[in-house]
Amino acid sequence: MYRAITQDIQIVVQPEFMADRSEPSEARYFWSYTIEITNLGRKTAQLTHRRWRITDANGKLEEVRGPGVVGEQPMLKPGQSFRYTSGCPLTTPSGIMVGTFRMVDEDGKSFDAEVPAFSLDSPYAKRVLN
């Protein structure tokens, strides 16, 4: 589990390798990730946009930007949480994701809530000991 807090917005990520949706012999690997966003503050905040940086094991970077998450732009009152699950395909057996969620509070102030970097590891990834 990975966790970050930015301006009273807590983001917790739990990635999971999906063997049943992967085909290593064809360089297809798939992960699901569940994200829970919790408003720990005193002001209502809305998630309006997402930005992801996805890097595979070869160092290839892909950026993904767009409105909301999974088709929604959740409004979080103080103490409320929003949870969703999405997925990420790669052509390598491991990678890393990191991102931000653009939040707008009830006063119209916007800020980027950090999504902590999380690793996408499969049983097919080479293990390196330092």
Q: Domains, the chain, ranges and CATH?
A: 2-121 (2.60.40.1470)
Spatial separation of the C-alpha atoms in residues 95 and 87, rounded to whole Å: 13
Q: Which tens digits make up the pLDDT trace of 96-109?
A: 999 999 999 999 99
Residue 34: other Cβ atoms inside 10 A: 14
Nearest to 54 by CA among 66, 63, 46: 63
* 46 within 8 A of 76, measured Cβ to Cβ: yes
Residue 130: pLDDT band with limits 50, 70, 90: low
Share of the chain above pLDDT 90, in %: 94
| Nearest Cα to Cα of residue 42 among 14, 91, 77 | 77
Return the beta strands (E) in the chain as ranges.
2-6, 9-17, 29-39, 45-56, 61-67, 75-76, 81-90, 94-105, 110-121
| pTM (2 d.p.) | 0.93
